[in-house]
Structure 1
Amino acid sequence: MGNLDPVAFDIETSGLGEEAVITVAGIAHELGEVIILNTAGREANSSHLEQTLLEESVGSIEVIVTREEEGLLEILTTVSHNRLDDDKHYLTAYNGETWNGGFDLPFVRTACISHDIDWPFPNLAYADVFEFVDRFDTNDKNDLVGVYDELVQDESCDPFDDSKAAVDAFEGAEWESLLLHNLADIQRTRELAVLAESYVPRSDFKMKNLNPPGR
């Protein structure tokens, strides 16, 4: 917002129950994307996945593979610290965290507590795309795919019709499809944030700082 560029963030999980873990975390910035895959101890070829996803990237793409949720969070923290600049970027997601809930950021917070890992996004500003989509006429659609299709109308690389399929893909070790789904979501989110910067009043972005007061 203003001089800040949006960095889109999205996670996939193994479900919604108490045992659910983060399976994928992706960020999209102006030059490309970084996607972190948790294989839960199984094998995946990061170079092959990068080559597969490269043709769908907006620039460059990096796929980082780890075997557990703790490793994913540690890598996410490193990527955030090394590549995101609070003077240049703000974090955004679609229903990642709103005034009365959201999914991605609360899930990440709880996972960080479980593994005793520091919050990965200190000092970054945040504005949720979900908070300002009602400034557009989206024909009563309020989900990410529906809003994107109404406003942008571009084809995406998403192989799935819904997020439930991402859970099945993780269980079946269908890494390529799982990462394409995450890539599509972070690209959609960032495109909507960029679009909103041209049409939505600055005051409707509801920007906040993600740095916890105890840090």
Structure 2
Amino acid sequence: MPLEQVAFDIETTGFEVDDEVTIVGFAVPLGVRVFAQTGDADGGADGLEASVRERTDEHVVVSSHASETELLQAVGEFVGERVSGEDTLLVAYNGERWRDGFDLPFLRTRLATAGIEWPFRDVPFADVMPVVTRRFNTRVDGEDQSDLVSVYGTLCDGKLNAVDPFAESREAVTAFEDGRFGDLVVHNVADVLRTRQLGRVAERFCAKSEFGVKSLTPTEYG
């Protein structure tokens, strides 16, 4: 029986070691769970969640956190309750390719500097990006496409249960700075839904061995 895929994606204030995680989203079978760093913004989680649900047909649960530390702690609790287990496969798009990737390396640095334990213990992981770009033809107008949006447009129907408000992912930085948390969450929801759908396509057409599943359990754990 195939593992249940849980797609995840993060948003940040930039790419440097002192930049922060602003959003972490997980696409689970019943919908999307999003953790948002909103500081002391008015409205709280209920207002943010309500505004996001008006913009997507997907069931979305949003929690609001005053700081990056609080967000990362909440993510750890969620992963321990919902994601850990041999029947679940955590997937990301460019989450951690060999000698590259973004989401997991960024999270490791932020967790280490904050003194927070690594949450993905006993969690199998696979990066969808190398499976898709190596085992599908993604060449468009003479060029190989590898970014999430382009590959999704090629291999999937192009329809999402959330309309991405950003033309480019880098807009997530200015959205956070401007306090446009609704846009930021909807963008993250769109990305985790794209990742989930690409993971399912790869699962349908590629061998299990192509996924390169690895354990994220740290060496000193257990």
Give the TM-score of the pair, scaled to structure 1.
0.94
The aligned residue for residue 83 of structure 2 is: 84
1:50-199 maps to which residues of 2 (within 5 A)? 50-54=49-53, 56-58=56-58, 60-133=59-132, 134-139=134-139, 140-156=144-160, 157-199=163-205
Residues 94, 189 of structure 1: 8 Å contact kept? yes
Task: Please give the TM-score of this superposition, normalised by the length of structure 2.
Answer: 0.91
Q: Please say if residues 86 and 124 of structure 2, whose CA atoms lie closer than 8 Å, have aligned partners that are also in contact.
A: no
Q: How many residues align?
A: 213
Q: Is 2:201 the counterpart of 1:202?
A: no
1:28-39 matched pairs, under 5 angstroms? 28-39=27-38
**1:94-115: per-residue Cα shift (whole Å, max 9, x none)?**
0000111110001111111111
Between 1:37-46 and 1:117-126, the stretch displaced more is 37-46
Q: SS state of the match for residue 93, structure 2?
A: coil
My pick for the range that moved more, 49-58 or 72-81, is 49-58
Q: Deviations over 1:108-141 (max 9, x none)?
A: 1111111111101101000001120121111211
RMSD after superposition: 1.4
Aligned identity (percent) is 38
Runs of 4 or more off by more than 6 Å in structure 1? none
CA contact (8 A) 1:33 1:57 kept: no
Quote the Cα distance in structure 1 between the aligned partners of 2:77 and 2:47.
23
Structure 2 residue runs without a partner (length 5+): none
Kept in 1, the 8 Å contact 2:86–2:122? The answer is: no
CA shift, 1:153, in A, is 2.9
Give me the whole-angstrom Cα distance separating, in 2, the residues matched to 1:155 and 1:131: 23
Give the equivalent residue in structure 2 for 1:22. Answer: 21
CA distance in 2: counterparts of 1:9 and 1:107, whole angstroms: 13
CA contact (8 A) 2:25 2:189 kept: yes
